[in-house]
């Protein structure tokens, strides 16, 4: 009986120590996220298992081109994944299938090398972002509910940036900021 109690106590200690180490990392540093839907095709597909790094934006501001997971502004219980296109203080204009960004350093047409050649962005709009707002779009511009539809993304709703795709293993990859 003593051996059984000793075994149970040792097993309990291992479980407690593991929880003390894993739980804070899981809840405050890295978070899993499953892609649902086709709004980020072809770069992220339905069923992809992603690891989201939650601490990134505690040390720096989000950058254009980063893929972020955030609380959907119209229903904070929902989680969305989109790409940051417009930064605070910029003006984003969508016209004739092209995205133009205007900021203090001038005006430029966004060259999105991560999208298939010939991809156009439908819509006709112009919006200026406040100091804590971001303009986000899905990579699948024809099938994405994004800032064109529901407005700007407040900075406080951003959970973190996509760090890597863990599943499927054949598509395992780490993600950074694309070059423009």
Question: Does residue 72 register a pLDDT over 80?
Answer: yes
**Residue 107 designated active-site:** no
Average pLDDT, integer, range 130-148 = 89
pLDDT in tens, 142-153: 888 889 888 899
Sorting pLDDT into bands at 50, 70 and 90, what band is 27?
Answer: low
- How many whole angstroms separate alpha carbon 163 and alpha carbon 102? 28
Which residue out of 82, 98, 102, 170 is catalytically annotated?
Answer: 82
Question: Does residue 135 register a pLDDT over 90?
Answer: yes
- DSSP secondary structure string, 65-109? T-EEEEE-TT-TTSEEEEEEEE-TT-EEEEETTEEEEEETTEEEE
Sorting pLDDT into bands at 50, 70 and 90, what band is 134?
Answer: very high
Contact status, residue 171 vs residue 153, Cβ threshold 8 Å: no
Widest Cα–Cα separation across the chain: 78
Question: Does residue 176 register a pLDDT over 80?
Answer: no
Question: Does residue 75 register a pLDDT over 90?
Answer: no
- How many whole angstroms separate alpha carbon 109 and alpha carbon 90? 13
Percentage of the chain lying above the pLDDT 90 cut = 13
DSSP-derived secondary structure letter, 178: P
**Residue 39 designated active-site:** yes
Which residue out of 39, 71, 95, 98 is catalytically annotated?
Answer: 39
Q: How many residues does the chain have?
A: 180
Answer yes or no: pTM beyond 0.85: no
Sorting pLDDT into bands at 50, 70 and 90, what band is 23?
Answer: low
Contacts of 2 (CB under 8 A, 6+ apart): none
Question: Which residue, chain included where needed, has tokens 């989109």?
Answer: 82
Alpha-carbon separation of residue 16 from 4, 9, 37, 66 (angstroms): 18, 10, 37, 36
- How many whole angstroms separate alpha carbon 81 and alpha carbon 70? 7
Higher pLDDT, 125 or 27: 125
């Amino acid at each position: 009986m003593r051996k059984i109690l000793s075994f149970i106590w040792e097993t309990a200690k291992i479980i407690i120590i593991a929880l003390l180490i894993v739980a804070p990392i899981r809840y405050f540093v890295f978070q899993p996220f499953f892609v649902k839907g086709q709004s980020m095709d072809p770069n992220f597909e339905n069923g992809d298992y992603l690891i989201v790094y939650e601490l990134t934006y505690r040390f720096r501001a989000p950058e254009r081109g980063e893929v972020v997971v955030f609380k959907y502004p119209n229903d904070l219980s929902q989680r969305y994944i989109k790409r940051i296109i417009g930064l605070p203080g910029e003006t984003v204009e969508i016209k004739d299938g092209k995205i133009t960004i205007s900021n203090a350093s001038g005006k430029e047409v966004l060259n999105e090398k991560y999208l298939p050649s010939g991809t156009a962005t439908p819509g006709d709009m112009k919006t200026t972002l406040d100091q804590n707002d971001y303009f986000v779009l899905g990579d699948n511009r024809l099938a994405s509910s994004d800032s064109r539809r529901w407005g700007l993304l407040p900075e406080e709703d951003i959970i973190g940036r996509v760090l890597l795709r863990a599943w499927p293993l054949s598509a395992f990859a780490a993600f950074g900021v694309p070059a423009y």
